[in-house]
Chain A
């Protein structure tokens, strides 16, 4: 397995979807011997983690309440017509 083959399997590897044991062994073997791919895996995982852990957009309760009130007003008006 070379780096291109490895990259093609990266999404499945992250998502735990490589079920074939032989393929998984090859992927892990490449990862154990290729520093570049090891760095790509580590930093890609970190990329996902940092986006998951730090929502860049705020959604304060005040906004939630305001939007919900507006939605429900529209919904109720539409049925009472």
Chain B
């Protein structure tokens, strides 16, 4: 079994800037088809949202997707069952909120996710101060804990966050929840602070919505995360082909010389 560190380290070693699309599990019945489409379009890794009723770090688009997924009966178990049956060929990172894994039981949740092929998790409401318990479980189970650095994170804290982050560090481009505004924002400065503190790859997210923005993000960082812009298309009924072509547009912009 490989780890997220190894997989994303290899992406960087190949000289490639990573593209990480975000999709909400269960937002549509064909959601796993959309994961495959994103991979076909050129994703290096996928962020998979596990829906929570009260997503504090998410704006209206991902909230809507979460509510749709919950209404369809999506659970950690149902997501893992479907993911386990896939062979996507790229690493998966689950994004959800503390209560979902706490309620399931930390060890049980980590084991179930890893079994389904998930290599890392992002819990945006779990900052450094509360991290120990979950990190210990994840470290023991080869599940990466991806942490965020925000524009408000002071430099000495950036070093501590980066030291605990596995796979990559999520560089938040702005002081905002997902999908609220677009553009690279403070992304470049945040990445610079992470790089000064740690060799872990830094991926920029929160506000990366278009090929141009993905290109700008990848120019300053090791990767770009695209969430709400993609989820909006999914909620509006985009076909798997349209998802693939949107992701390919991002890919081409990132890779263009």
Is this pair of chains taken from one and the same complex? no
Interface residues of A (CB under 8 A from B): none
